[in-house]
């Protein structure tokens, strides 16, 4: 019994001491004990060591999320830029087609073409073979298109009809002409009573110009003069604009005078053309057209 009382007494005293120590520790003090300082610093260092990698991992996760967000935004912006570029390209092509169609309509309404039967057509295919400079148009024999008819745009002649089917036709472009498909032409000499004459006999790939072989030497031919169809040979009407002379020279044997001609029409950018029948519109046909 005495031992129990002694143990109880010791327990109560221990509790009192512990409570006292806790109370002493909790009260505000300016100075801490050595042990408290050590414990406080140890806890602080431990927290600092643990918090640094945690903070680093937190920042790394935020940075990764930010990079992913920026990447996603860049992908969206790139798609928008590609769409804008595509729209700009389409707008440029449409502007070219509108301008070309406007030139063709103005040409079709010109006094010159009123003397001929003309058929307006659109290009539906282009040959990729460099040896066959051809395009396909959406008009054929059912519309009055026949082989060897001249084909022009609003800026000048581009070629001739090579073959026709009921609803489409193949056009051989000027840059595909050679001696077997030559064109009889005249050179407009302003200070002369008579124009110089010759034939378009080929195309120079390096300079992208037509080769004009003159029938006879003429010292009055010079750069800047216009070349147009002569009407000789029975194929093309007279007066179709071919191009402008850029250089006058001699063949390699110094026997024939040659000239290089810059085509008036853009042979690589053709969307709308006019097919011209060499036969002039008769008076009766003109009157019928007026009545319609």
Structure confidence by residue, pLDDT tens digits, 2-34: 676 677 777 777 777 766 665 555 555 555 566
Rounded average pLDDT over 184-204? 87
Q: How many of the other CB atoms lie within 10 Å of CB of 264?
A: 21
Between CA 154 and CA 157 the distance in angstroms is 8
Between CA 129 and CA 109 the distance in angstroms is 34
Please, what are the domains in the chain? Answer: 113-280 (2.40.10.350)
For 42, the enclosing helix (H) or strand (E) is helix 34-108
DSSP structure class, residue 256:
S
Rounded average pLDDT over 125-132? 72
Beta carbons within 8 Å of 83's beta carbon, 6+ residues apart: none
User: By 3-state DSSP, what share of the chain in percent is helix, strand and coil, each rounded to 5?
Assistant: 40, 30, 30
How confident is the prediction for the chain on average, in pLDDT? 78
pLDDT of 57 above 50: yes
The number of CA neighbours under 13 Å toward the Cβ of 22 is 6
What's the CA dihedral at 172, 177, 180, 182 to 10 degrees?
110
Rounded average pLDDT over 119-135? 82
Exposed e or buried b for every residue in 76-96, given b needs 16+ CB within 10 A? eeeeeeeeeeeeeeeeeeeee
Would you place residue 284 in the very low, low, confident or very high pLDDT band (cuts 50, 70, 90)? Answer: very low
- The most distant pair of C-alpha atoms in the chain lies apart, rounded to whole Å, by 155
pLDDT of 36 above 50: yes
Beta carbons within 8 Å of 185's beta carbon, 6+ residues apart: 197, 198, 199, 200, 212, 227, 228, 229, 230, 242
Per-residue pLDDT of 60-98, as tens digits, reads 777 777 887 888 888 888 877 877 777 777 677 667 666
Between CA 167 and CA 78 the distance in angstroms is 43
């Amino acid at each position: 019994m005495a031992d129990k009382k002694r143990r109880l007494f010791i327990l109560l005293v221990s509790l009192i001491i512990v409570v006292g120590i806790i109370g002493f520790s909790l009260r505000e003090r300016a100075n801490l004990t050595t042990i408290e300082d050590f414990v406080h610093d140890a806890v602080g260092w431990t927290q600092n060591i643990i918090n640094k990698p945690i903070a680093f991992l937190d920042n790394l996760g935020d940075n990764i999320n930010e990079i992913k967000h920026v990447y996603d935004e860049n992908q969206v912006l790139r798609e928008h830029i590609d769409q804008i570029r595509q729209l700009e390209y389409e707008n440029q092509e449409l502007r070219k087609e509108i301008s070309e169609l406007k030139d063709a309509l103005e040409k079709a309404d010109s006094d010159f073409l009123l003397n001929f039967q003309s058929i307006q057509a659109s290009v539906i295919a282009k040959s990729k073979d460099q040896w066959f400079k051809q395009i396909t148009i959406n008009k054929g024999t059912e519309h009055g298109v026949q082989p060897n008819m001249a084909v022009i745009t609003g800026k000048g002649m581009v070629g001739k009809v090579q073959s026709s089917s009921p609803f489409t036709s193949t056009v051989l472009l000027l840059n595909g002409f050679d001696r077997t498909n030559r064109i009889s032409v005249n050179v407009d000499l302003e200070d002369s009573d008579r124009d110089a004459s010759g034939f378009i006999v080929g195309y120079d790939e390096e300079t992208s110009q037509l080769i004009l072989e003159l029938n006879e030497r003429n010292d009055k031919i010079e750069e800047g003069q216009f070349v147009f169809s002569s009407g000789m040979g029975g194929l093309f009407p007279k007066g179709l604009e071919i191009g402008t002379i850029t250089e006058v020279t001699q063949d390699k044997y110094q026997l024939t005078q040659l000239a290089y001609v810059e085509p008036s029409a853009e042979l690589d950018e053709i969307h709308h053309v006019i097919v011209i029948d060499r036969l002039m519109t008769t008076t009766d046909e003109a009157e019928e057209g007026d009545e319609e």
